[in-house]
Structure 1
C-alpha cells in the first residue's frame, strides 16, 4: 500500500521532477479537512514559468486520471490556491491497511532496504569498575533501538559494547584496593565497593598528591604486563561484567561483541605504521599527529610526547578491525555529544588514509542525563545507579498493580515489563540531542506521553478483544459505514504510516520519531474507543471494528518492541 510513493511517481512524471524530490515535497496537512496528502506547487514556478495556482490546476487535471489508472484509492483531488490536496477513499484504504497488518502481523513495516548488509553499532560502553549509571542509559537504549529499527529495515546490526576497560583509572583503582580494599568486600558487592575505593582515592589525593604518581606507576606496570596488576585488572573486569549483565538482562539487551579498549592494545601499532608509510604522521611539539587543517580542525593526536597512544589511535584501530571482521555498510557510534570533534577527526583521518568506508561512519550524538539540572559525575560520587532506578520503578509498579488489579497473573513479570519500559521510553520519546532531566515520577505515570500509557493502551486493546471473544481473521470485509468518522480514520491513517515512520527513524537515526508515533497511535485509539461503539449490535460492523482494534494492538506491540519495550497483554 505505498499510496504516497505511487502518487509521488505520477506527480514526478507530470512535472518532470526527480521522484525523491517530489516525495519530499508531499506533505500531510495538519488539518484533516485539507486532505490526507498535499502537494505545494510553489517550487515549480521558476522552472514552469507560471503562477503556482495555475500550475496546481493544470497538474491536478492530468493527475486525476493517472491516479485512477494506477489503482490508487483517491476519492477526490482538490486544488486550493497553490496546493493540490488528495483525499483517500477511506473505505478502501481501511480495508487494505487492516488486511495488511492482520496478515503480516509483526512483519508489517518490514523492509528489504538494507539487503542484509552489516551495520556495526557502538553502544552502551560503560567503564569497568564503575557503576552502570543513568548517564550510560542513553547510549544503551538509543543504540539498541537503532539496532532493532535497522534490523526491521533489512540490515544486520552488530551490537558492540566497547567497554571502558583500560586507562590510568585502573592504576588508581589498584592503588586504592591495595591500600583500603579487601577481596571479601569486593566479592560481596563488586560495583559499589569499587566505586567507594575510586571515590576515596580522589578524596585522599587532594591531601596526598603523591597518590596520583603511584596510580600512574601501577598503570605502567599493567601496560608492561606485570602479573599482579594484570590479575587485579582481569578480576575487576570480570566482577564488573557480572553486575552489568544483570542490568542488561533486565533490559532485554544483548551484544554481539564485548571487545573493549584493552582488546585493541596490540592493534594500534598497525595504525601508527600505516600513517607513517602514507606520510600522514607529523611531529608537533613532541607529539605525533595527523594534520587536518584543510577541514578547519585541530590536529588529530596519535601519540603523546611520551610515546603513549590516545583514544583516536584506539578508535582508528577499532574501525580497521571492524571493517576487516564485518565489512560493514555503515558504522554507528552512539556516544555523547561532547565527543563530536573526536569522531569528526577519526573519520577524516580514515578518509585521508584512503578508506572509502569512512564516508559511511556516523557519530550518533545525544544530550546529557541531568540530575537537578546538573551533569552526573562518577568521580565525585554524585551518580544515580541504573540498577537501583530500575528496581525502584519495578517496586512502584508492583504497588500500583496490588492496588488496581490484585488478581493479575504474572504480576511480578508485568511490573518488570512496565517499570523497565517506563525508563527506556522516557528516554526514547525525546529527540536524542535534547538533555533529559531524571524524574522517576514523570517516567512512571500511566497518563500522558509515557511508556506505561502506551503499554496500558495495548493491554486495553487486548482486553476488548478477549471480552468480545474475537477470533483472529485477516479476511477483511468492511460494511459500509463501519469505520466512518474522524476517530476511526485517524487510527487507520496512523497504521498506514507505520512503515514510513520506521524508515524515517532509521534514515535519520532518530528513535524518537517512532516514540512520538506510538504515543499518537495510542491517543488516537483511545479517542476512537471513547467515541465509537466497538461492540456494535450489527455483527459485521462489530467484527470490522474489532479488526481495527486487533491491528492497532499489533502495531503498538511491534512499535514498543522496536524501542526495546515489552507489551503485556494484561495490566
Structure 2
C-alpha cells in the first residue's frame, strides 16, 4: 500500500537520494520493504553490507515502522503490525471490490487467441486465452484503456490443404460430428496424405492461388467452411467468458500486406530472391524475413505487416501486445525490425509463452494428435459433477450445473496461468482438480470457506475494532499479503506475468487455511472475534477480486 511506502520514504529520504529503488522483497519474511545499498558503494567507498549496517544505526524506527534490519546488502523495513492492520483492513472494508485499482491514461491493444479456422481448438489455445484475458482484466483494473483483439487465421496454406482434402476425398460425406472438429480431422488427414505423397503439394498450392484470386467455386466453399470454424470458436469463447472488442481476420489485411511488401521492394528495404520478396536482416542477426512467396501468394508476415500498422493508425493506441507462443520469438523480432526499417517504430511487445502438453506426450494439429478443449472440458465436467453431487445431494440441478461449470473452468484456467510464461504446462487432469493442491478449486474453496464463516456470524458491519489484537504470526502473514495486492497487480503488468497474480491468490488461500488451523475465529472473546471476522471479510474480498481478474468465478458454496 502506498501509505506504507510513504512512511518508509519519510525515514529514508534524509539518507539516500534514489527512493525509486525501494522494493517489496520476494520473501515476505524479510519485511514489508527493502532498500538495496549496492549503488551507494562507489560514492561512499564502502561495501554495500557496511553501508546497510551504518544506515540501520542512523535511521530510527517510529510509530509506524516497527523495526529496521540490515540484512546483507539490504535495509529491511517492518511496518508496525497494529498500524498495518488498521490501514489495510479499513481500506479494504471501505473500497471492497475496488481495492488495489488505479488510474492510467495509456491505451493498449492486446491481441490474443488467434486460432486458425479449419483447425481444431485444442488445450494449447486455452493457455493463450487464459493469459490474454487475465492480462486484459488486470490492465483494465489498473485503469488502462484496453482493446481486446482477436486475429483469426481464416486464409493461408492450411485452409487450402483442408479444402483440397475435403473436396477431393470427402465431397459427399455426411458430417455427424461438430463441423469445426470435423475440419480439424480433415486438416490432419491432408497433412498425412501430402507427407506420404509430396507431389500432392502442387495441387494444394494451386488451390491456395485460386482462393487468393477468389475463384468462385473455391471461394464459396471457403466462406461456408470458415463459418463452421467461427461458430465453434464463438461458442468456446462464450463458455470461457472471453469476449473481444474487435476481431481481425487475415483475409481482411491480405491485400494491404501485399501492397506493403511491394512498397518495401520499391524502397530497397526488401529484395527479390528467386522470385520471392524478403527482407535481409542478417546485419541484425535476425536472418532473412520472407514476406511474399514467389507465386505472389501471402504469408503470415505479409498480413502481420498490414495489421501492425492498422492497429496504431485506426485505433490510436500507445502500445500493442501480442500474446503468441514462444516458438514465434524470432518471427516477431523480424516483424518489429522490418516495421522499424519502414520508419514505423512503435511500442510493440511479444508476450511469449511455452506450449501445453499432457503426461502422455506432446500435441500437433497437423498430426491430428491434439486434445480438444471441448473433449477435455467434458471429461473434467463428468468428474466434477460426480464429486459435487455426492457432497450436495440436496442441491437442485440448476445450482449443481452452475457450480460444476465454475469448478471445471477454475481447474482448467488456473493450470494455464499458475506457471511462468516460459514454463511448459504439463496438464494433469487429476492434479488440476485437487482441492488440497495448487489449483483453482483450492482457491475457490478458500473463498467459499470465508463466505460460510461470515454467513454464520451474520457479519454486516464492523465498528470500533481493536486492531492490536491481530498479533499472531498467521494473522501478520495475511495482513502482509493483503497489503501487497496492489503491488502484485502492478508487477503482473510490469513483467507481463499473469502467474504472479495466480501465485498470489494461491499464497493468500494457503495463508488463510493456516490461519484457520491455528486461530479460533468464533470465541468468547468478542473483541478478538470481531477483529478476526473483519480479517476474513477482507481476505474474501481480495480473493474474489483476484479470481475475477483470472476469469474464475469466486464461489460461495462448493
- The answer to whether the superposition gives a TM-score over 0.5 is yes
Shift of 1:176: 2.2
Match of 1:510 in 2: 497
Within the candidate set 185, 201, 211, 2:174 is matched to: 185
Within the candidate set 372, 379, 385, 1:398 is matched to: 385
Shift of 1:106: 1.3
Moved more, 387-396 or 190-199: 190-199
Using the alignment, how far apart are the partners of 2:196 and 2:356 within structure 1?
A: 31
Shift of 1:387: 1.0
Match of 1:46 in 2: 42
Secondary structure of residue in 2 paired with 1:364:
strand
Match of 1:74 in 2: 65
Task: State yes or no: 1:37 paired with 2:33.
Answer: yes
Match of 2:82 in 1: 91
Shift of 1:62: 4.7
Work out whether residues 8 and 19 of structure 1, in 8 Å CA contact, stay in contact via their aligned partners in 2.
Answer: no
Work out whether residues 490 and 524 of structure 1, in 8 Å CA contact, stay in contact via their aligned partners in 2.
Answer: yes
Task: State yes or no: 1:271 paired with 2:271.
Answer: no
Gaps of 5+ in 2: none
Task: Please list, as runs of the form range in 1=range in 2, the aligned pairs for 1:54-453 lying within 5 A after superposition.
Answer: 54-64=50-60, 68=62, 73-79=64-70, 83-112=74-103, 114-115=104-105, 117-181=106-170, 185-186=174-175, 189-206=178-195, 208-276=197-265, 278-357=267-346, 360-372=347-359, 374-408=361-395, 410-453=399-442
1:158-190 Cα distance to aligned partner (Å, 9 max, x none):
122111211122222222222333578348630
Change over 3 Å in CA distance of 1:567–1:539 after alignment to 2: same
Task: Please list, as runs of the form range in 1=range in 2, the aligned pairs for 1:514-553 lying within 5 A after superposition.
Answer: 514-553=501-540
Task: Please list, as runs of the form range in 1=range in 2, the aligned pairs for 1:1-20 lying within 5 A after superposition.
Answer: 1-3=1-3, 5-6=5-6, 9-10=9-10, 13-20=13-20
Shift of 1:276: 4.0
Match of 2:22 in 1: 23
TM-score in terms of structure 2 length: 0.94
Change over 3 Å in CA distance of 1:386–1:275 after alignment to 2: same
Using the alignment, how far apart are the partners of 1:513 and 1:5 within structure 2?
A: 21
Work out whether residues 53 and 82 of structure 1, in 8 Å CA contact, stay in contact via their aligned partners in 2.
Answer: yes
Shift of 1:11: 6.1
Shift of 1:422: 0.6
Match of 1:560 in 2: 547
Gaps of 5+ in 1: none
Work out whether residues 118 and 326 of structure 1, in 8 Å CA contact, stay in contact via their aligned partners in 2.
Answer: no
Secondary structure of residue in 2 paired with 1:185:
coil
Work out whether residues 125 and 164 of structure 1, in 8 Å CA contact, stay in contact via their aligned partners in 2.
Answer: yes
Change over 3 Å in CA distance of 1:83–1:131 after alignment to 2: closer
Secondary structure of residue in 1 paired with 2:553:
coil
Secondary structure of residue in 2 paired with 1:157:
strand
Change over 3 Å in CA distance of 1:317–1:6 after alignment to 2: same
Moved more, 405-414 or 485-494: 405-414
Aligned alpha-carbon RMSD (Å): 2.3
Secondary structure of residue in 1 paired with 2:127:
helix
Work out whether residues 76 and 87 of structure 1, in 8 Å CA contact, stay in contact via their aligned partners in 2.
Answer: yes
Work out whether residues 364 and 370 of structure 2, in 8 Å CA contact, stay in contact via their aligned partners in 1.
Answer: yes
Using the alignment, how far apart are the partners of 1:559 and 1:537 within structure 2?
A: 33
Shift of 1:128: 0.7
1:443-465 Cα distance to aligned partner (Å, 9 max, x none):
11111100010001100110011
Moved more, 391-400 or 551-560: 391-400
Using the alignment, how far apart are the partners of 1:174 and 1:41 within structure 2?
A: 64
Change over 3 Å in CA distance of 1:182–1:534 after alignment to 2: farther
Secondary structure of residue in 2 paired with 1:125:
coil
Moved more, 156-165 or 211-220: 211-220
Work out whether residues 152 and 247 of structure 2, in 8 Å CA contact, stay in contact via their aligned partners in 1.
Answer: yes
Moved more, 407-416 or 329-338: 407-416
Work out whether residues 4 and 79 of structure 2, in 8 Å CA contact, stay in contact via their aligned partners in 1.
Answer: no
Secondary structure of residue in 2 paired with 1:308:
coil
Using the alignment, how far apart are the partners of 1:329 and 1:500 within structure 2?
A: 23
TM-score in terms of structure 1 length: 0.92
1:120-163 Cα distance to aligned partner (Å, 9 max, x none):
11211111121111121111111111111111121122122111
State the aligned residue count. 556
Using the alignment, how far apart are the partners of 1:278 and 1:154 within structure 2?
A: 41
Shift of 1:208: 5.0
Using the alignment, how far apart are the partners of 1:442 and 1:29 within structure 2?
A: 26
Shift of 1:480: 5.6
Work out whether residues 461 and 549 of structure 1, in 8 Å CA contact, stay in contact via their aligned partners in 2.
Answer: yes
Change over 3 Å in CA distance of 1:430–1:52 after alignment to 2: closer
Work out whether residues 169 and 215 of structure 1, in 8 Å CA contact, stay in contact via their aligned partners in 2.
Answer: no
Work out whether residues 372 and 437 of structure 1, in 8 Å CA contact, stay in contact via their aligned partners in 2.
Answer: yes
Using the alignment, how far apart are the partners of 1:403 and 1:338 within structure 2?
A: 44
Task: Please list, as runs of the form range in 1=range in 2, the aligned pairs for 1:461-476 lying within 5 A after superposition.
Answer: 461-473=450-462, 475=463
Shift of 1:535: 1.2
Work out whether residues 25 and 31 of structure 2, in 8 Å CA contact, stay in contact via their aligned partners in 1.
Answer: no
